Homo-oligomer: A and B are copies of this chain.
């Protein structure tokens, strides 16, 4: 059976509900659907941002996401997978990223979605530039994101990263 996999990079917004519906409609073998939506936060006070620009490396971004989608399909018994990552200028409240996983049982759906999000945060070539009152700045990578991603590597614990 072919597992439906959708990967899209786009500047346009996405409809998380419609994407989840596409994975499940007309099927009776899916028991669990997990949907993760990442949203542009506005911050507060001096940290408030007016907008964010997501830069990406065209070609490599698609390849990296596809590679991790393949890995997720190999590790968990998924019945459907959708990954959408936006690029360009976003304002607070805008959607950034969507991961939808479908499986017979909830554990596979949850784990695969977390795995993909951890890898998107640390391996997919995207960079966030925030516009604040004090001027624009590039978002720094977070050590805890690296630790989160490391937990999926056999023989590697988060404390070693």
Q: Which residues of A contact B (CB under 8 A)?
A: 15-18, 20, 24, 27-42, 44, 92-93, 104, 106-107, 109-110, 113-114, 117, 148
Do A39 and B24 form a contact, CB below 8 Å, given A110-B113, A110-B114?
A: yes
Number of copies: 2
A23 CA to B37 CA, complexed, in Å = 12
| Interface class of chain A by DSSP | mixed
Write the nearest CB–CB distance from A119 to chain B, whole angstroms: 12
Task: Please indicate the chain B residues that have their CB under 8 angstroms from the CB of A42 in the complex.
Answer: 28-29
Cross-chain contact of A34 among B24, B34, B41, B44 (Cβ < 8 A): B34
Write the nearest CB–CB distance from A40 to chain B, whole angstroms: 8
